[in-house]
Amino acid sequence: MIALVLGGARSGKSGFAERLAATLPAPVTYVATGTAWDDDMAERIARHRDRRPAAWATEEVGAALVEALDRLSGTVLVDSIGTWVAACDMAPDVEALLAALRRRSDDTVLVGEEVGLGVHPPTELGVRFRDAVGEVNAAVAEVADDVRLVVAGRGLRLDRLDP
């Protein structure tokens, strides 16, 4: 099963994804794609780490997400698509990600930042980030079995549109 959990900043998407992963078969590996580049990010990482079950393994992979998905067995929770896109300098190999997701026989939960509901980014880099994350989210949603949008810690199931 591939699940995609989308949400805006501070929406509760990571906590929602963690609760979902906790219902899936062990072992669970938390795959972190971001790094602590400042004190705020270090605090966020520590908060996430503190609330995860002690039995979960953690892999810090940065841009090497595809390789991690191919290497790891058991349930994998990827947090997040946005930090992976940034680690790939806004040019992620989406097709390689989709292929790795399809190859996995174990459950995979991915957290993605919903970037299409906000204001237009004021910088070129912000536009590139929004566009790249939006494209990855849409591509992953196409192969996902379950897609949720989290708002205020509550998840809404997103159905496929049938033309």
Q: Which residue has the tokens 């980014």?
A: 121
Within 13 Å of residue 20, how many CA atoms lie on the same side as its CB? 28
- In angstroms, the CA 78 to CA 17 distance is 9
Contact 151, 7 (CB under 8 A): yes
Rounded alpha-carbon distances, angstroms, from residue 61 to 47, 152, 154: 19, 28, 28
Burial of 6 (0-12, 13-18, 19+ CB in 10 A): buried
Residue 41: partners with Cβ closer than 8 Å, 6 or more residues away: 34, 35
Nearest to 29 by CA among 107, 97, 87: 107
DSSP 25: P
Enzyme catalytic residues: 48
